[in-house]
Amino acid sequence: MNTSPEQFMLQHILGLCEGHADALRDALHDMGPLDRVLERYSQLSKADRRLLDQFAYRYTRLQDDMGTRLMPAILKVLGEEVSAMSAIDRFARLEQLGWLPSADAWAELRQIRNQFTHDYPDDTGERLERLHAACAAAGQLLIIMERFGERIRRLLPK
């Protein structure tokens, strides 16, 4: 069976997103128990700052690439016309098709990510809350990515 250009592109983007997901999992693992990170959050070492930067970068990249590249590629392979769809319409369509648990939940994950990566409150407690929310959201994002990967592999020719 031949691979269509859309299927080839989906396979390529899936690999890219899975690379981000693997690095995000590694960062979460290396951060260890969140309580330990939170204890030293006000006086982070250089290694801790790099680890948090890696976490923030991979979380951002995974969510951005899933939303702007992977989801449209899935819809194209499914025969959907995505060129005129807004991002919100693509998320809603993927929800209708059973790919995305909730378009609203996806938007919430993005909001949590934006608060964590773009807002820098002076209060350490608030920064800690945002880190905690971001770690939980990253876990949810990884679950969605894992499900996407399973379904995409069933779509693509062997």
The average pLDDT across 24-45 equals 74
- H helical segments located in the chain: 5-31, 34-39, 46-65, 71-77, 87-96, 103-118, 124-155
Q: Is the pLDDT of residue 34 over 60?
A: no
Specify the pLDDT at position 114.
85
Angle in degrees, CA 115, 117, 118, rounded to 5: 70
Specify the pLDDT at position 82.
93
CA distance 78 to 42: 48
Q: Is the pLDDT of residue 35 over 60?
A: no
Tens digits of per-residue pLDDT, 79-134?
999 999 999 999 999 999 999 999 999 999 999 988 887 766 566 677 778 888 99
- Mean pLDDT across the chain: 88
